[in-house]
Structure 1
Amino acid sequence: MSTQSEPADDQPDPGLSAIMSERRKLINLAYRLLGSLADAEDVVQETYARWYAMSPEQQDAIESPGAWLTRVASRICLDLLGSARARRERYVGEWIPEPLPDRTEWISGRSVDVNTDPADRVTLDESINMAFLVVLDSMTPAERVAFILHDVFRYSFAEVAAIVGRTPAACRQLASSARRRIRASQNPATPTPQRADVVRDFKRAWEAKDIDALVGLLDPDATTIADGGGLVNAELRPIEGNEQIARVLVDIADRAPDLRILERTVNGQPGLAAQQEGVTVVVMAFDVAGDRIKRIWAVRNPEKLRPWKG
């Protein structure tokens, strides 16, 4: 199958269509592996560049182009994950996965004017919520790749082994270790409508600068982690404790009276986006257990907020 030849009568090349149809799956895979839409786009672009760098004869010799593309994209991600820790050591503030927007508000369901072209190609499920991605980021690169390929994308351990460069038994152990990390980090599941109620009440309390209401909505041991993205005014350490978090939120509201807080879906879950002069300046994801907020991830890095327009 050659994707380089031009079919007669200007008809679409079925080989090219088959190759490009893999793009959505590759974006899904790379985002889960890297926690970044921008990096996922770069990985997929590089993967296709390697495909088209081959001759038509080399392409024809590949029995399953889709499997080839997945293998190459996964290996690129594995290499990037290996260097990511060193890059993040130089990062000012905490590093948080890039928040993924949705086209709809989580309460009204109304379509909003958000540029979500990359996000449109990411399937929303539990493997992209912020709490899940944060745990993935704590894993070794090999653990993360083995777990995502096997448990999320249902590749066999033999296929995973060919990508990771280890034995199937070793990959099975990697995925098992990753599962233990996931289980240890999970709170009991809170239904989405209940999550929405808690986040809605949090938004109202923040807008009202009601410290007592905020304290009541936050778990006593709640943590807020802010991603400054290299900004000099980034929060360098997490804020811990419901009273401390509430006072910081009210202080922010006092210093930014024009702050507009919007209900938005963040990585498939009820979240908030705050704007100043029509520009999104922070996106918040929440970990809710019962009727209390356990964690808040506040992403401020402008590079990570590029998909959040309006």
Structure 2
Amino acid sequence: MARHFERDRPRLRAVAYRILGSLGEADDALQDAWLRADRADTSEVTNPSGWLTTVVARVCLNMLRARDTRREEPLDDGDDGARRQPAATGTAADPAEEAQLADEVGIALLIVLDTLGPAERLAFVLHDMFDVPFDDIAAMLGKTPAATRQLASRARRRVRGVPAPEADPPLRRRAVDAYLAATRGGDFDALVALLHPDVVLRADAAVVPTPEPFAVSGVQRVARGAMASLGRARSAAVLLVDGRAGLAMAEHGRLRVVLRFDFAADGRITGIDVIADPVRLNELDITGIS
């Protein structure tokens, strides 16, 4: 089985990364999957690639569920004498490699995937990205194939997004696109041009550790605050936030900060809500833009 694992490693790593959204976690999942595969009786396995994909997917599913319960998934008993993965992947992810992978997969997709439940995420990734049959995914999830199809369908709708119900969505979408481009490029003048003179930026206590939400007003102050988020802007994507164009920022594929915008009739930005509190983030409806 070691030979099959080594041959399939790139695909297995791609599966794990898309399910988990984190390169470090993906490598941990492969390590765990190899330990399980190495202990298993594989004498009757007729499709090693499919079997290994199932092992990796189940490990990833456990890790996703552990996120929700704030627990770490323990390794199986008896690890002391276990053989290690045929070729070590390393214990820490390379930031440059992770950034490249995020660009290849799509930051927006990773962010939307992070808003899905573990079963929805697994069903969508395995079926829509890797052509795993629903019957096989259903067995992993302990559900019927029909129920698994529904999970993937719901995930697909969120990933593809819905039309924004605004009077002039293209104008506002262009403003958000321009805001992201200006902050990524450090273009202060371009950012100022997007802001209304009476613009107000509000940030919750998870962004600025104050007893009450923090607020600043005025073009210059808001623009300077936006420039300070240059690092975060590199991992941001334009998505629908509660049905309107907004920005979502990720860290290792995990949703961390969301920006909601208010606009004047001419398309200039009048308000920016910066949301980082986990409870508030979970209450937002975040989808892709079709």
Q: Structure 1 residues 154, 213: closer, same or farther in 2, change over 3 A?
A: same
- Aligned match of 1:287: 238
1:158-237 equivalences in 2 (<5 Å): 158-184=135-161, 199-204=180-185, 206-208=186-188, 212-215=192-195
Deviations 1:157-210 (Å, cap 9, x if unpaired)? 112112222111111111112122223357799xxxxx9977544445x45366
Distance 1:238 1:21 in 2: 52
* TM, length-normalised to structure 1: 0.54
**Structure 1 unaligned residues grouped into runs of 5+:** 4-15, 89-113, 190-194, 262-271, 275-281, 305-310
Aligned 8 A contact 1:27 1:44 in 2:
yes
Distance 2:212 2:50 in 1: 42
- Large movers: runs of 4+ above 3 Å: 114-120, 122-125, 183-189, 195-204, 206-211, 220-228, 233-241, 243-249, 298-301
**Structure 2 unaligned residues grouped into runs of 5+:** 72-93, 171-175, 257-290
1:1-310 equivalences in 2 (<5 Å): 3=2, 16=3, 18-54=4-40, 58-87=41-70, 116-117=96-97, 122=101, 125=104, 128-184=105-161, 199-204=180-185, 206-208=186-188, 212-215=192-195, 247-251=221-225, 253=227, 273=231, 283-287=234-238, 294-297=246-249, 299=251
Residue 64 of structure 1 aligns with an amino acid whose one-letter code is N
Aligned 8 A contact 1:158 1:168 in 2:
yes
Aligned 8 A contact 1:284 1:298 in 2:
yes
* TM, length-normalised to structure 2: 0.57
Q: Structure 1 residues 288, 83: closer, same or farther in 2, change over 3 A?
A: closer
Offset, 1:27: 1.5
Q: Structure 1 residues 22, 186: closer, same or farther in 2, change over 3 A?
A: farther
**Higher helix proportion:** 2
CA RMSD of aligned residues (A): 4.7
Distance 2:151 2:215 in 1: 32
Give the count of matched residue pairs: 220
Distance 2:60 2:131 in 1: 18
Offset, 1:252: 6.5
Deviations 1:128-178 (Å, cap 9, x if unpaired)? 322222222222211111111111111111121122221111111111121
Residue 63 of structure 1 aligns with an amino acid whose one-letter code is T
Offset, 1:236: 11
Aligned 8 A contact 1:26 1:73 in 2:
yes
Distance 1:168 1:79 in 2: 20
Q: Structure 1 residues 81, 238: closer, same or farther in 2, change over 3 A?
A: farther
Offset, 1:78: 1.1
Aligned 8 A contact 2:201 2:222 in 1:
no
Residue 151 of structure 1 aligns with an amino acid whose one-letter code is D
